[in-house]
Structure 1
Amino acid sequence: MWRSIASNFLTIAIVLIAGVAGIIAWGKNQYSGPGPLADAICLKVPNGATFRSVAADLADRQAVSSAYILKVGAEYEGKTAKLKAGSFLVPEHASMAEIVDAVTRGGQSTCGTEVNYRIGVNGSDLILRELDPATTNYVEVVKFDPAQGAAPEEYTRATGDADVRYRVTLAEGVTSWQVVDALTRADFLSGEAGDVPPEGMLSPDSYEVTKGEPRAELLADMQARQEATLAELWATRAEGLPYATPEEALTMASIVEKETGIADERPLVASVFINRLEQGMKLQTDPTVIYGITKGQGILGRGLRQSELRGRTPYNTYVIEGLPPTPIANPGRDSIAAALNPATSDYLFFVAKSLVPSDGHVFAATLAEHNDNVAKFRALEQQGGAGN
């Protein structure tokens, strides 16, 4: 009899163990397998939230099959104490494990509201936008220029949330003065900007910043990126270039940047100016003359006068020999690369193809050919009104 009892007990124990193992395996599969979420959502985790409240929110929104399993899985992985506040994109059919990783990994929020302060050559604007989880595209809420007055109510209200992300984007060709001037109006930054950095030494790029970040630290980051880019590209430069220093190459890059916004043209434009330097010709480029007038503090807003083209300034390349003393703007990586690895050509001249800047330029090796190209462009100007 005792053998029978022991055998039955052992059988029951085995069944129970198998059942528990099956439940555990099922739970693991629920935790790591694809979730039930049909469409992506933006999950907001407020300050002070717990995994219990987050799990309940996810279950209510049908993003997980079980709030309990998500909480137990997070506890098993030792992540319940690592919950981060913020807004997080939860893709369709995301597993519980993927969701837990997203809300405990840290770093910038991946969903919700973003402020992008774009500093451009002809002005700046501040854009408040929201991520659409379904398309993962940003939808513009409001756009305004901080230089033109107070911020709209939508902006003030939205930026009261702690999980708003901030970004500063520099356009290629902005001057250092323009950058510093614009940053003084960024209400999400702190502290003084300090002295205007050397012209050309700020990297046109997109910078994620935190609310309250010091302006001086952001400018230092911009300068460090440009220094790294210049050093990297200088090390792989073509042989025989007419530059004594990386700074001279940066000056050339800034001229290329201001002459064309078309990436494919930059190596050709660089070749024109390098050919001119090598043949002892003056560069004769309007953007340097304009910089000598404005000192990079805004745009000229009109055409150049003949007296300005004849006037002797350190930046008037119709008068001086060689390069101007400094860059005339902050060039992007492509323009620096073009200055250090230009195209091989015999071109000495170029002029716009049409009144549309995106149409680019037509290049010429001889003055006679160039004059023909200029005559064609002047005819277009007369037909279409004001030129470039």
Structure 2
Amino acid sequence: MASKRTKKPKASAPRERKNFLLRGAILFGAGVLLCAGGTAGLGWHDYTRPGPLAVGQDVVIPHGGYASTAAVLQNAGILADDWWHGTLFHAAVVLTRHNGQLHAAEFHFPAGVSLQETLWILRHAKPVLHRLTIPEGLTASQISALISNAPFLTGNVPALGEGDILPQTYSYLRDSTRLALVAQMQLRLHTALQEIWQARSPDTQMLHTPEELLVLASLIEKETAVPDERPLIAGVFLNRLAKGMKLQTDPTVIYAITHGNPPLGRPLTRSDLQTPSPYNTYLVPGLPPGPICAPGTQALEAAAHPARTDALYFVANGSGGHSFAATLSEHNQNVSEFRKKH
């Protein structure tokens, strides 16, 4: 009698369904990982590659959130102006927050700056400094005009006295006040004047205060632009003061006529030399009552360290400098030679 064959039991439908779902989940997870990896790779590429900025520029980053900062960067052309790069900026800020907070200021962004470099700038770069140069020899009115017209400053220029500030190049941040900048200039003058006064030569015994040294330096500043001549001119003026002679320096007459609002616009005349004013050193002995301009450091040093000379006179030599003389006759000869050339 034939034996019956044993049949294998078929896998149940629930088990097959479970395996199918498992395989699907694995495939879906792999897809997600591949997608995430691709997105991360693209993000890193866009994070580190050069950006669209064609020419370096200064950009003001205002106070606010990440959204406003991203908008400013996109408007300036530092970031591409699309959804992806705006989102990438937010993600990069969050993922690198351990590197520090973003700052609001005016920063310089170079051409082609990447997002990675942009975040470094926003976190660590120094703000843009603007510069204003005050040349030597300007009057208070001229300096006030320079400060008033300087860009990126706020507020009005405070009243300036003659010789109140030290001519230099000054740096300031955008939106600094003119009041604060002037205070910085005045402090520089005070510091320099005190240091120079303390180290002055014994040959300056005719000067009794730092303020008198400042006045003398302003005369030197207006008389010559030749550095080597400044100590000589200081020596002449101090010699004349020691002998009780009037200083008779033309720049003080010009100041008396213009009231510190140059230019005069014409040569001095004989009648100008009779202009009644405490600044007219042809009429009034001694130093004028105040500076006639803002002298620079070299003029201050010359006033504090005059050359030892017996000269009492000087006149322009027609070559940018001066001829010095110890006697009036020698001086008159120098004047005669100058007139022959002119």
Pick the TM interval, shorter chain.
0.5 to 0.7
User: Number of paired residues?
Assistant: 275
The answer to whether the aligner puts 1:367 opposite 2:322 as a matched pair is no
What is the rounded CA distance, in whole Å, between the counterparts of 1:190 and 1:89 in structure 2?
A: 24
Deviation at residue 256 of structure 1 after TM alignment: 0.2
2:10 matched residue in structure 1: none
Larger of the two Rg values belongs to structure:
2
**Compared with structure 1, are the counterparts of its residues 319 and 45 closer, same or farther at alpha carbon in structure 2 (3 Å cutoff)?**
closer
Does residue 280 (structure 1) correspond to residue 244 (structure 2)? The answer is yes
Partner of 1:157: none
Which of 200, 218, 228 pairs up with 1:237? 200
Three-state SS of the structure 2 residue aligned to 1:363 is: strand
Distance 1:257 1:226 in 2: 15
Within 2, Cα distance between the matches of 1:209 and 1:284? 40
Query: Are the counterparts in 1 of residues 107 and 126 from structure 2 also a CA contact under 8 Å?
Result: no
Q: Between Structure 1 and Structure 2, which shows a larger proportion of helix residues?
A: 2
In structure 1, distance between residues paired with 2:123 and 2:240: 58
Give the match for residue 254 of structure 1.
Answer: 218
AA at the equivalent of 1:170: I
Alignment partner, residue 181 of structure 2: 218
Q: Give the 3-state SS of the residue equivalent to 1:306 in structure 2.
A: coil
Any unmatched runs of 5+ in structure 1?
1-30, 59-70, 92-96, 111-164, 382-388
TM-score, normalization by structure 2 = 0.67
Aligned identity (percent) is 42
| 1:88-99 alignment runs, 5 A limit | 88=108
SS class of match (2:137): coil
Q: Distance in 1 between matches of 2:332 and 2:59?
A: 65
Task: Report matched runs for 1:1-388 at 5 Å.
Answer: 42=56, 47=61, 75=96, 78-79=99-100, 81-82=101-102, 86-88=106-108, 104-109=123-128, 165=130, 167-186=131-150, 188-194=152-158, 196-241=159-204, 242-354=206-318, 356=319, 359-381=320-342
Structure 2 unaligned segments of length 5 or more: list them. 1-47, 62-67, 80-91
Would the alpha carbon gap of residues 43 and 306 (structure 1) be closer, same or farther in structure 2, given more than 3 Å must change? Answer: closer
RMSD: 3.8
- Kept in 1, the 8 Å contact 2:234–2:306? The answer is yes
Q: Distance in 2 between matches of 1:104 and 1:237?
A: 47
Q: Is the 8 A contact 2:102 2:119 kept in 1?
A: no
